[in-house]
A = this chain, B = another copy of it.
Amino acid sequence: MELRRIILGHFLVISLALNMGLLYRDYYYNGNRKPQDVFTFKNKGKNASLYAKRDAHLGKRTFLEASKASSSSSSSSTVLDEVIDLDHGDPTMYERYWQQMGDKTTVVIPGWKFISYFSDVSNICWFLEPEFASAVFRLHNLVGNAATEDRHIVVGTGSTQLYQAVLYALSAPNATEPISVVSVAPFYSSYPLITDFLKSGLYTWAGDARKFKLDKPYIELVTSPNNPDGFTREPIVNQNHGTLVHDLAYYWPQYTAISSRADHDIMLFTVSKSTGHAGTRLGWALVKDREIAKKMTEFVMLTTIGVSKESQLRAAKILQVISDSHEQKVSKESEAFFDHNYNLMTRRWQQLKNAVKASNLFSLPDLPTEKCAFSGRTFATQPAFAWLKCEGEIDDCENFLRGHKIITRGGKHFGDSNKFVRISMLPRDEVFDKFIEQLSIISSLPSSKDR
């Protein structure tokens, strides 16, 4: 309830700033058009003007002037480099792999293509490019992470749009009150915001699923592996009139063992977290029920009249190359996608676990170990986010880490305690290495030893 009030009240903008993990990366293209990355961060202490730059995007008026000052200075990169931003889940870790793959995934689009709104009117989702649909089915069948038989694909502008499409599809247009939307805490921090920001009469955020006891229609979101904590999730509400939505954005073999083929009624996926192409803004839903698929399609039609064909064409190519990389393993240079990124995640998690072990300040959850039916490996879930707990007397872990120039997202945004923070495990190598280094420095500080 408190969360709800904050969202709907005049703190909306600030809440958004903190929750959506806005973003502090400047692309500066040099003469060769290679991106030279400069990070700006929400380190309010020493770098207020840098933090302001981010806040400026979200309407925090007090920081506007500072922002201007900051962006007019071109010599700020030295200062920026000191701060480590792991607040948002920008999956730039994947850039290196795709660079190594060279032109295999290059797409070429002539100017006369994609003039029409329509992709395939024989499909319920008439704006779904058939090439993208085939690539999705092929990849799921290869990985074995989701059932595809008798499923409709609904494509969306990221799984964020599909999440809203599901709420629309599952709500009754003539109901006297909005349907309740719940998820077990800690839940993805965007769920409450996206559910409530338009004050829809169709659906409303009802918080932690564990506390939901009403005998009324509800939608339970089951995110597995869970964002933020990485645990495998099952539905928990035991009432009538419920509909389950499975957010499987992270159910891929670089993050977790594929223990079985998910076979749920509504399953959401996104390229952001599977291939790393967040800028492509593309997600897909596998939907059993024809009427739900139709209503989801209707939502996407009403809100954006379909989904970028360019994104679909490019994602199709990328998914096909991933499948190819596993079916035609040839050389070291063309290492298979999931193997390469599984190994990368393993290394990162080992680094983080070592750093946490060497400290008396932090702890990590014990994530389940299972055998992966795809790779044959037995391993513990190594999620895209670490759910780090500050031990002892540190009650505001986000604030504590910010004081040490590590920017994370505090537990309260996920409906949990501020003893926790969510940390992105998907930045570029240099940022991740610096994060580990910084954790060790914090642990070795005299003030830290006192705690």
A311–B314 CB distance below 8 A: no
A95–B112 CB distance below 8 A: yes
A98–B124 CB distance below 8 A: no
Residue in B40, B126, B281 whose CB lies within 8 Å of A304: B281
Residue in B56, B173, B290 whose CB lies within 8 Å of A10: B173
Residue in B56, B164, B303, B313 whose CB lies within 8 Å of A124: B56
Contact A114 to B23, CB < 8 A, known contacts A198-B200, A199-B202: no
CA distance A64 to B277 in the complex (A): 36
* Residue among A20, A101, A116, A200 with max Cβ neighbours from chain B (10 Å): A116
**Is residue A105 within 8 Å, beta carbon to beta carbon, of the partner chain?**
yes
Q: A412 → chain B, closest Cβ, in Å?
A: 19
Chain B residue nearest in CB terms to A107: B109
- One of A24-32, A357-365, A403-411, A430-438 at the interface: A24-32
Q: A198 → chain B, closest Cβ, in Å?
A: 5
Chain B residue nearest in CB terms to A175: B199
A276–B94 CB distance below 8 A: no
- In the complex, what residues of B have CB within 8 A of residue A98's CB? 110-112, 115
- In the complex, what residues of B have CB within 8 A of residue A10's CB? 173-174
- One of A135-143, A154-162, A214-222, A256-264 at the interface: A154-162
- In the complex, what residues of B have CB within 8 A of residue A112's CB? 95, 98-99, 101
- In the complex, what residues of B have CB within 8 A of residue A276's CB? 115
B307–A120 CB distance below 8 A: no
B297–A57 CB distance below 8 A: yes
A92–B71 CB distance below 8 A: no
CA distance A128 to B90 in the complex (A): 16
Contact A291 to B95, CB < 8 A, known contacts A20-B302, A109-B314, A279-B309: no
* Residue among A104, A114, A115, A173 with max Cβ neighbours from chain B (10 Å): A115
Residue in B23, B122, B126, B306 whose CB lies within 8 Å of A121: B23
**Is residue A371 within 8 Å, beta carbon to beta carbon, of the partner chain?**
no
**Is residue A298 within 8 Å, beta carbon to beta carbon, of the partner chain?**
yes
Q: Which residues of A contact B (CB under 8 A)?
A: 8-10, 12-13, 16, 20, 22-27, 40, 53-54, 56-59, 61, 64, 71, 88, 90-92, 94-95, 98-99, 101, 103-122, 124, 126, 130, 157-158, 160-161, 164, 168, 173-174, 190, 193-194, 197-202, 272, 276-282, 290-291, 294-295, 297-298, 301-311, 313-314, 317-318, 321
Please give 19 more A-B residue pairs, beta carbons under 8 A apart, in addition to A27-B120, A57-B294: A22-B126, A23-B118, A24-B121, A26-B121, A57-B124, A58-B294, A91-B115, A91-B116, A99-B112, A111-B317, A111-B318, A114-B280, A117-B278, A168-B198, A200-B200, A280-B310, A281-B304, A308-B310, A310-B310
